[in-house]
């Protein structure tokens, strides 16, 4: 084949796939509509630039001052909100949810982004941390840690495939008061939920339930911070379900005893063996003792006139013995779902174990997108940029989990024809790890190999880190291929 023929072939491949390029971006942004059409164009261009350089700075992905200045102006624009940036992604999440017909878990969690630079303005106080030094009076010195807090809600299937975000909230604090300091002045259970930061849990549950519009298929899952009686009542009002780890020993039954007292009377109703890892990553087996009971739970004393009593299921899973190298497993869960057998109890435990998926999502956001390394100087700009990063982080997470959940799917589900062509040319197929030559798993493993994955027979499936590294390399290679084809054509 001559150089001219190669050029013509390359151009045909490029033109044939032009309509497919960035198809995932089309799906994620189709519902994002700003009041000014120019903002739509600028947002799409900025999103494409950031997706082509995950983890890189804005000047690097924009390449010149004109595009960099336009990006800064977009992020500074008061007419742009995080809700508008995420509107298209929320719509795409709803579509993916509608395409399933099984139970979907809505994982809720709060994380914080810290910025230690003195030039950051209008970010809130996150907490006070000890310096390790003491003053003349012997009191431990503290320093203030500033940043932004984010409460996110992520929809995942029971197999762990992330469908997308369903709600997102950013906020900052003018001052920080520890829980113990607050308790000295007032009983926090008597403070209206509307005056607490905890209201974010209720807002995200409401927004997620309304967005997906099928409350019976949703299970809202949260850690001990979500043990809020108002949240239980909100879920009941919407006809949806919740499964949270409890930290409050509430009044139960006739009000003369607590949940813990009643659960102490319940005999062990089953055992469950699981594989766990210690701090060094070594595997071991843990045996969980399981017991459960349907209990009438009473509202807090100060709010008994505002909220009704609820009939809930309490589920305890406690590890036998004392393990070495890690904490003992001791889960106390509460849910409005029925648990009538050991099988159903194990099912709920497995659903709750999926909660760590949202922590993985936050890790991608901070490590992959390097969200805490941004040089933007105001909380408003940072929040808008974080909203964009959330979509990119979901994409990386989705690719990683799709390889495990849908390995035999078509590669066009995640890649364009040009990307498939480049991966075929760059990485040789490993028949041991990739028995299906043209499956999605084949090309995701090839992508991971670009990011440093070794693809040996005994290796675990590729993780998020090698996936986002592979994406960055593939983008650079695709750009070089396109420029090379244009130069040969000219």
Q: Output DSSP code: residue 319.
A: E
Lowest-confidence segment of 39-53, 180-194, 207-221 by average pLDDT: 180-194
Is 106 in contact with 221 (CB distance < 8 Å)?
yes
pLDDT band at 417 (very low <50, low <70, confident <90, very high): confident
pLDDT of residue 17: 36
pLDDT digits (tens, 9 = 90+) for 221-249: 999 999 999 999 999 999 999 999 999 99
Judged against a pLDDT cut of 70, whether residue 11 lies above it is answered with no
Judged against a pLDDT cut of 70, whether residue 366 lies above it is answered with yes
- With tokens 């959940």, the residue in question is 405
Exposed / middle / buried, residue 376 (Cβ in 10 Å: 0-12, 13-18, 19+):
buried
Average pLDDT, rounded, for the chain: 85
**DSSP H helix total and E strand total for the chain:** 16, 12
Lowest-confidence segment of 127-131, 153-157, 257-261 by average pLDDT: 127-131
Q: Report residue 304 as tokens.
A: 């008994």
Q: Between residues 50 and 143, which one has the greater pLDDT?
A: 50
Helix ranges (H only) for 354-463 are 356-363, 379-405, 417-426, 440-450
Judged against a pLDDT cut of 60, whether residue 147 lies above it is answered with yes
pLDDT band at 260 (very low <50, low <70, confident <90, very high): very high
pLDDT band at 430 (very low <50, low <70, confident <90, very high): low
Is 211 in contact with 153 (CB distance < 8 Å)?
no
Q: Output DSSP code: residue 269.
A: -
**Dihedral sign (CA 22, 27, 28, 29):** positive
Element (H, E) at 259: helix 259-264
Judged against a pLDDT cut of 60, whether residue 434 lies above it is answered with no
pLDDT digits (tens, 9 = 90+) for 190-220: 778 888 889 999 999 999 999 999 999 999 9
pLDDT of residue 262: 95
Is 90 in contact with 166 (CB distance < 8 Å)?
yes
Judged against a pLDDT cut of 60, whether residue 264 lies above it is answered with yes
pLDDT digits (tens, 9 = 90+) for 469-479: 888 888 888 87
Judged against a pLDDT cut of 80, whether residue 371 lies above it is answered with yes
Q: Three-state DSSP class for 339?
A: coil
Question: Which residue pairs, CB below 8 angstroms and at least 24 apart, start in 228-232?
Answer: 228/193, 228/198, 228/201, 228/202, 229/299, 229/300, 229/303, 229/307, 230/193, 230/198, 230/202, 230/307, 231/201, 231/202, 231/205, 232/297, 232/310, 232/312, 232/334, 232/336
pLDDT of residue 312: 97
Give the mean pLDDT of 45-73: 92
> Percentage of the chain surpassing pLDDT 70?
84
pLDDT of residue 135: 64
Question: Which residue pairs, CB below 8 angstroms and at least 24 apart, start in 35-43?
Answer: 35/79, 36/79, 39/74, 39/77, 39/79, 39/80, 42/70, 42/71, 42/74, 43/74, 43/80, 43/85
């Amino acid at each position: 084949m001559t150089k001219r023929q190669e050029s013509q072939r390359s151009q045909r491949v490029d033109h044939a796939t032009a309509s497919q390029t960035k198809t995932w971006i089309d799906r994620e942004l189709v519902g994002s509509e700003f009041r000014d059409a120019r903002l739509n164009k600028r947002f799409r261009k900025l999103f494409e630039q950031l997706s082509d350089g995950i983890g890189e700075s804005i000047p690097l992905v924009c390449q010149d001052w004109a595009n960099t200045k336009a990006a800064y102006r977009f992020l500074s624009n008061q007419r742009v909100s995080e809700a508008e940036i995420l509107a298209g992604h929320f719509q795409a999440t709803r579509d993916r949810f509608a395409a399933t017909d099984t139970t979907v878990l809505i994982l809720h969690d709060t994380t914080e982004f810290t910025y230690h630079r003195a030039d950051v303005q209008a970010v809130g106080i996150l907490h006070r941390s000890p310096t390790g030094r003491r003053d003349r009076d012997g009191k431990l010195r503290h320093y203030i840690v500033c940043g932004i807090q984010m409460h996110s809600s992520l929809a995942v299937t029971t197999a762990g495939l992330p469908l997308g975000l369903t709600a997102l909230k950013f906020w900052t604090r003018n001052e920080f008061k520890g829980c113990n300091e607050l308790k000295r002045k007032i009983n926090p259970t008597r403070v209206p939920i509307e005056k607490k930061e905890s209201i974010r849990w209720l807002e995200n549950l409401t927004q997620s339930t309304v967005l997906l519009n099928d409350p019976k298929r949703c299970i809202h899952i949260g850690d001990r911070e979500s043990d809020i009686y108002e949240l239980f009542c909100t879920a009941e009002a919407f006809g949806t379900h919740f499964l949270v780890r409890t930290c409050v020993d509430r009044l139960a039954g006739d009000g003369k005893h607590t949940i813990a007292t009643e659960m102490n009377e319940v005999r062990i109703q089953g055992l469950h063996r699981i594989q766990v890892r210690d701090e060094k990553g070594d595997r071991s087996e843990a045996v969980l003792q399981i017991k459960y009971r349907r209990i009438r739970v009473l509202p807090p004393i100060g709010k008994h006139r505002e909220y009704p009593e609820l009939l809930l299921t309490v589920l305890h899973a406690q590890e036998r013995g004392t393990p070495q190298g890690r904490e003992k497993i001791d889960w106390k869960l509460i849910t409005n779902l029925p648990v009538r057998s050991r099988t159903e109890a194990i099912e709920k435990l497995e659903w709750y174990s999926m909660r760590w998926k949202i922590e993985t999502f936050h890790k991608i956001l901070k490590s992959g997108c390097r969200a805490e390394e941004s040089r933007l100087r105001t909380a408003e700009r940072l929040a808008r940029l974080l909203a964009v990063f959330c979509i990119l982080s979901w994409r990386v997470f989705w690719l990683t989990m799709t390889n495990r959940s849908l390995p035999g799917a078509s590669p066009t589900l995640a890649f364009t024809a040009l990307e498939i062509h480049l991966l075929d040319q760059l990485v040789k197929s490993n028949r041991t790890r990739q028995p299906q030559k043209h499956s999605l798993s084949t090309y995701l493993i090839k992508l991971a190999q670009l990011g440093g994955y070794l693809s040996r027979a005994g290796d675990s499936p590729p993780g998020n880190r090698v996936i986002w590294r592979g994406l960055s390399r593939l983008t650079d290679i695709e750009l070089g291929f396109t420029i090379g084809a244009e130069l040969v054509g000219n």
